[in-house]
Structure 1
Amino acid sequence: MTDWLISIEGTQTGHHMALGLALMAAFLHAVFGALQKGRHDPWLTRGAIDGSYCVMAAPFALFVVPWPEPHMWPIFAGAWVIHSIYKLLQAAAYTKGAYTVVYPVVRGTGPLFTVVGAYLIFNESFNTVQWIGVLVLMAGIFGLALYNLMYLQTERDTLRAALGLAVLTGVLVAMYTTFDAYGIRATANPFTFLAWFFMIDGFLFPIIAYRRWHRMEDSPAVGPLMQRGVFGGVIAFLSFGAIMMATRLDKVGEAAILRETSTVFAALIGWLVLKETVGPRRVMLMMLIAAGAVIVEFGG
């Protein structure tokens, strides 16, 4: 399978495969975000998820895939730093604001910076129609942020902090998307990067989560938390793994923007599962974000 994936890089088949992987990543990332924002503390949930996918990835990294080339170790170190900062900011944002407030801004801010990074690093460029799509997407993002500032009644005291953290998290999304695309292209076997990335990336947050859990007066039961962690670990493999593979097979900028159709799934999950109030105006703005992503994909 590895040889076949490598053989379709940059081809029309690879483009179609990247399209499917990015859409799958969009849906699964919305599920992943809802898991972290669910009934458990976001820091604890993230620790359980990271610990789970670290343990699951270790046998593949150590015994199945080829070992990384020497030049990959600095890349893994850079990826660990970027992802660690991203996860710290995301957990803080979820602590301050509702899922349907934070998630669209995080996921919508990242693509603009990713497009710029893809141009500078991978020499990718967008045509006029695709840039219109980027502007539509950004209009939906900032319209959503403005709407939340004007009309959202709950969490008013922490809303500005939540939106600020969400924007910063979006910048880190762009950084890790671009850096991961560089990393997965730098090794001969893409599965080597994926296995080692997940094993290395899973070290930090279990420690943070344990210390936070230990200090709580009413700590949640470990069993249900770890069940959520194992489920989230599988989702993380499929979601993050899919978008990383998509950026190897095709253009980084297009894959990153198409993934932001996850805002539509996020709205549905927030409404149906988390019982958050979404409202028709916020749904329309989330749809605008998704429409921008579609214009970028099909305007190319």
Structure 2
Amino acid sequence: MSAWLLSLEGTEAGHQLALVLAISAAFLHACFGALQKGRHDPWLSRGAIDGMYGLIAMPFALFVVPWPEPHMWLIFLGVFIIHGIYKLLQVASYARGAFTVVYPVMRGMGPLFTVIGASIVFGESFAPLQWFGVAILLVGIFGLAVYNYLYLETERDTLIPALLLALATGLFVAIYTTFDAYGIRATADPFTFLAWFFFIDGVLMPLIAVRHWRRLALRPALPPLMLRGVVGAGIAMASFGCVMMATRLDKVGEAAVLRETSTVFAALIGWLVLRETVGPRRIALMALIALGAVVVELGG
């Protein structure tokens, strides 16, 4: 599998596969975000999910994939720190604001800064039409967040802190996307990076979640939470694996932009699953996001 994937790097087939992987990651990431914002406390949900994917990845990291090269350990330390900060900011934002408001903001910051970071780190460049597509996508994403904010009926007292946290989270989306793309390209076997990423990344949040659970006056039953963790772990591993493979096969910036169509999927999930209101204006803004992604793809 690794040899076949690596043979597609820089080819048209690799570009097409990267496109499919990035869109798949977008849908899966929206599902993952909604899972954290659902019935359970987001701190507990995140802890259960991370703990489960760490356990799933452990035997693959230790016994299946080739062991990381020596230079990879410093990269994994950076991964642990960056993703730890990102998740603390993300969960804090979810705990204070409506999903359909904070999610577009945190995801909207990502593509712009990732494109800039990819140009610096990987020497990538966007055509003028692609930059126009990025602008369309960002107008749709932030327009969606503003619209949701104006018509939100609940959680207004904590919304400003939630939005500030969402902005900071978006910055770390760009940082981890660029850094992880560097990491998966720095090892001979991409599956080595993925297995060790999930093994290492599954350590921090379960410890925080256990501490949080012990402090609760009303502690939720563990079996439903663990079930959510198993489901979420599968979604997280598929989503992250898809976008990381996309960045290995093709441009990091394009993969990052296409992944942010997750905002469209998130709005649909918020409407269909979380019962949050969706109207014609929000549908038009979601269409803008999708249009921006299409323009980025066609402009390349």
Tell me the TM-score normalized by structure 2: 0.98
Following the alignment from structure 2 to structure 1, what is the Cα–Cα distance between the partners of residues 269 and 215?
A: 31
Kindly state the Cα deviation for residue 161 of structure 1 after the two structures are TM-superposed: 1.5
Give the conservation status (yes or no) of the 8 Å contact 2:138–2:289: yes
* Partners of 1:24 and 1:154 in 2: CA distance: 31
Structure 1, gaps ≥5 residues long: none
2:45 maps to a residue whose letter is T
How far has the Cα of 1:155 moved from its partner?
Answer: 1.6
Give the percent of matched residue pairs that are identical in Structure 1 and Structure 2. 71
Provide structure 2 residue ranges, at least 5 long, that are not aligned to the other structure: none
The range that moved more, 281-290 or 229-238, is: 281-290
- Provide the residue aligned with 1:142 in structure 2: 142
Aligned to 2:235: 235
- What one-letter code is carried by the residue in structure 2 that aligns with 1:7? S
1:95 aligned residue: 95
Paired position in structure 2 for 1:28: 28
Q: What does 1:59-208 align with in structure 2 at a 5 Å threshold?
A: 59-208=59-208
Hey, what's the Cα distance between the residues in 1 that align with 2:162 and 2:281? 20
Distance in 2 separating the partners of 1:282 and 1:84 = 32
Correspondence for 2:17 = 17
Q: Is the 8 A contact 1:109 1:141 kept in 2?
A: no
Aligned-partner Cα distance in 2 for 1:238–1:150: 34
Cα deviation, residue 216, structure 1: 0.3
Q: Which residue of 2 aligns with 1:255?
A: 255
Q: Deviations over 1:189-219 (max 9, x none)?
A: 0000000000000000000000000110101
Cα distance, 1:65 vs. partner? 0.4
Look up the match of 1:288. Answer: 288
Amino acid at match of 1:37: K
User: Within 1, Cα distance between the matches of 2:184 and 2:266?
Assistant: 27
* 1:276 and 2:276 are equivalent in the alignment: yes
Deviations 1:65-88 (A, max 9, x none): 000000000100001111111100
Contact 2:82 2:172 in 1 (8 A): yes
Q: How big is the shift at 1:293?
A: 1.7
TM superposition shift of 1:271: 0.6
Is the CA contact (8 Å cut-off) linking 1:108 and 1:289 kept in structure 2? no
CA contact (8 A) 1:262 1:290 kept: no
Return the offset for 1:262: 1.1
- Deviation, 1:56, is 0.1
TM-score by length of 1: 0.98
CA contact (8 A) 2:44 2:212 kept: yes
Give every structure 1 segment of 4 or more consecutive aligned residues whose post-TM-superposition deviation is greater than 6 Å.
none
Could you tell me how far 1:101 is from its partner in structure 2? 0.9
Letter in 2 for 1:202: G
Q: Distance in 2 between matches of 1:286 and 1:157?
A: 26
Query: d(CA) in 1 for partners of 2:285 and 2:82?
Result: 29
Which is further off, 195-204 or 280-289?
280-289
Describe the SS at the equivalent of 2:278.
coil
Structure 1 CA distance for aligned equivalents of residues 72 and 9 of structure 2: 20
Give the conservation status (yes or no) of the 8 Å contact 2:57–2:196: yes
Contact 1:100 1:278 in 2 (8 A): no
* Deviation readout 1:97-143 (Å, 9 max, x if unpaired): 11111111111110000000000000000011001011111212332
* 1:8-34 per-position Cα deviation (integer Å, ceiling 9, x unaligned): 111111101101111110111111001
Q: Which moved more, 1:24-33 or 1:287-296?
A: 287-296
- Residue 209 of structure 1 is matched in structure 2 by 209
CA distance in 1, matches of 2:133, 2:265: 19
| 1:289 Cα deviation from its structure 2 partner | 2.1
Matched length:
300
- Tell whether the 8 Å contact from 1:34 to 1:266 is kept in structure 2 after alignment: yes
Residues 280/161 of structure 1: CA separation in 2 closer, same or farther (3 Å cut) = farther
Letter in 2 for 1:214: R
| Contact 2:180-2:244 within 8 A present in 1 as well | yes
The secondary structure found in structure 2 opposite 1:96 is coil
